[in-house]
Amino acid sequence: MHELIDSLFMKEFANKTLNAKNDSAILKIGNKKMAFTTDSYVVNPIFFPGGDIGSLAVHGTVNDLSVCGAKPLFISLGMILEEGLDRAVLEKISRSINAAAKKAGVSVVTGDTKVVEKGSCDKIFINTSGIGEIFYDGLSVNSIRPQDAVIISGPIGEHAISVLSKREGISFNTSVKSDSAPLNGLVRKALAVSGRIRFMRDPTRGGVATTLSEMVERARFGICVDEKAVPVTEQVRQACELLGFDPLYLACEGRVIIVVDSRDAGKVISAMRKDPLGRKAKIAGHITKEYKGKIYLDTLSGGRRLVTMLSGEQLPRIC
């Protein structure tokens, strides 16, 4: 997938904006700098503990805008429905979209609905595109410097475990709820206290490991992650042991990785902890001059190992 996007799309649609490979495109519109992003959602099942495809579609796009330093403003809603989809299901999802948009302070301003025959799509797919106004300029992988702190805003992997356990009918002692949430409030609090935040990204598909791998790709720095400082709940850890997953590769939908000048890391953490979504925020690693282009993990067991990007398929239909 990663190879496909790189080789095919980037070549075909080569232009400066797309090549920046941000979660959002940064556009000059009149006297404003705007962010523009799109995401399709194909999560299966469409309802899972802690959310559904509707709220997920809003949060995902709100978060893609937020991590670019933008205030999310407007959202579009494209739905593809399978013929025969229960009207009650559609109503529930619509209410969920609406509630999520209200909570995140964005307006659904334009939409489109297509219906395909039974069997031509799995229940419902949703695309949301979003427009936001940049209020914090210069967030970029290129701003990252050795010694910078790597903050993770909260426990990782809950979204993936929630969706997987619902899909596979696996239950744990208590059900794991998705972390799906709008990050704009939390991000704003962090950005308000430091002018030295370098870069942010929400670790969705492929989790923290994949997000960090994308950061170090072709970079002149490496990342050292302290496994014991990575927030993971006991439930997620147990589920991972049972299912053979590494939490570092599991998708989050309401967590953010923030790279910040280490001198400001303390006050950014304090600010984040004042937000319900950032209560468990932690410095989980730092940028290194060594290990150029690589990520090293200081493991719980006291060793040090290389973290690589998933070579095979990532978990399908997790978002």
Contact footprint for a copy of itself (CB under 8 A): 1, 4-5, 8-9, 12-13, 15, 17-18, 24-25, 27, 29-32, 34, 36-42, 44, 73-74, 76-80, 90-91, 94-95, 97-98, 101, 107-117, 119-122, 125, 127, 129, 131, 133, 316-317
The residue among 57 and 187 lying less far from a copy of itself, judged by its C-beta, is 57
- Label residue 123 left, alpha or beta by phi (over 0 means left) and psi (-120 to 50 means alpha): left
Distance CA 185, CA 179 (A): 15
φ, ψ of residue 128 in degrees (nearest 5): -120, 135
The residue among 234 and 313 lying less far from a copy of itself, judged by its C-beta, is 313
In the complex, minimum distance from the CB of residue 119 to a copy of itself, in angstroms, rounded to a whole number = 7
- Label residue 41 left, alpha or beta by phi (over 0 means left) and psi (-120 to 50 means alpha): beta
What are the Cα distances from residue 25, in Å, to 35, 70, 130? Answer: 5, 11, 10
The residue among 28 and 218 lying less far from a copy of itself, judged by its C-beta, is 28
The residue among 91 and 290 lying less far from a copy of itself, judged by its C-beta, is 91
State the Cα torsion 285-289-295-301 to the nearest 10°: -60
The residue among 74 and 291 lying less far from a copy of itself, judged by its C-beta, is 74
Distance CA 51, CA 62 (A): 15
The residue among 24 and 165 lying less far from a copy of itself, judged by its C-beta, is 24
**What does the angle CA 58 – CA 245 – CA 46 come to, to the nearest 5 degrees?**
30
Distance CA 176, CA 164 (A): 10
Distance CA 291, CA 296 (A): 8
In the complex, minimum distance from the CB of residue 124 to a copy of itself, in angstroms, rounded to a whole number = 11
The residue among 210 and 233 lying less far from a copy of itself, judged by its C-beta, is 210
φ, ψ of residue 56 in degrees (nearest 5): -60, -45
Residues 24 and 75 sit within 8 Å (Cβ to Cβ): no
The residue among 15 and 301 lying less far from a copy of itself, judged by its C-beta, is 15
Residues 134 and 34 sit within 8 Å (Cβ to Cβ): yes
In the complex, minimum distance from the CB of residue 109 to a copy of itself, in angstroms, rounded to a whole number = 4
